[in-house]
Structure 1
Amino acid sequence: MSLLTDALPGLLSATGAAGVIALASAARRRLLPRRPRITQGAGTGAALNGTRILRRYTLLRTVGPDGAPDHYETTRPPGTVITHRVVGGHPQRFELTDVPLGDGTFAAEPLDHL
């Protein structure tokens, strides 16, 4: 029985130290700013060094002649407003976003409601 009572303080201190390390690690991950991710493939964003990379945007609420949504490719950053001729040749404004869609493109939201 004395073997158990002699080992108990060491076991408790090791468990406590592991708990403190786990809490410190979780707090560090939560409090430190996150680094931006660079995605690969169609719809890649701007790299960390400020170079401009081609992104493909899906123009929401538009349909091309084949029935698929219209796409727009540009190196402009998210937040840029573009003008695209969609409805009967009339111009419509879209804001480029950094919201990825399931097909690997990014969303371009319409600003003019028809």
Structure 2
Amino acid sequence: MSLLTDALPGLLSATGAAGLIALASAAQRRLSSRSPRPAQGAAAGAVLDEPRTLRRYTLLRTSGPDGAPKQYETTRPTGTVITHWVDGRPQRFELTDVPLSDGTFAAEPFDDL
């Protein structure tokens, strides 16, 4: 019985220390999630924070059967690179937030695959 009573203070102090470490870790995670992001991460955070609305994009340097530029609808945020088939081959386009005169947004050719 004296072995149990001798070990009890050490057990209680170890449990208390583990609890304090867990609380400090949780508080640090919560505070770091509220802090502003650095300048490089701010642009990425802004892209992710914008509302997800359906937008129509005009794929620049493309044309459909009627000669009009091809259009693409998506809810993906600006800065996303999409792949679209143009003349039987895939071509990548970057979605931008640049409005065009017809009410659509510009999707710039990213590169040729």
Q: Which runs of 5 or more structure 1 residues have no equivalent in the other structure? A: 1-48
**Deviation of residue 112 (structure 1)?**
1.7
Residue aligning to 1:9:
none
CA distance in 2, matches of 1:91, 1:82: 10
CA distance in 2, matches of 1:50, 1:92: 26
SS at match of 1:69: coil
Q: Which runs of 5 or more structure 2 residues have no equivalent in the other structure? A: 1-48
1:82 and 2:82 equivalent? yes
Residue aligning to 2:63:
63
> Structure 1, residues 23-75: CA drift from partner, whole Å, max 9, x if none?
xxxxxxxxxxxxxxxxxxxxxxxxxx854110000000000011100000000
Question: 1:69-108 alignment to 2 at 5 Å?
Answer: 69-87=69-87, 89-108=88-107
TM-score, structure 2 normalization: 0.54
AA at the equivalent of 1:96: L
Alignment size in residue pairs: 65
AA at the equivalent of 2:61: R
TM-score, structure 1 normalization: 0.53
CA distance in 2, matches of 1:69, 1:51: 26
Contact 2:57 2:106 (8 Å CA) reproduced: yes
Moved over 3 A (4+): none
AA at the equivalent of 1:102: S
CA distance in 2, matches of 1:65, 1:83: 19
SS at match of 2:111: coil
Higher helix share: 2
Contact 2:92 2:112 (8 Å CA) reproduced: no
AA at the equivalent of 2:102: D
**Deviation of residue 111 (structure 1)?**
1.2
Residue aligning to 1:54:
54
CA distance in 2, matches of 1:67, 1:110: 18
**Deviation of residue 113 (structure 1)?**
4.3
CA distance in 2, matches of 1:50, 1:113: 29
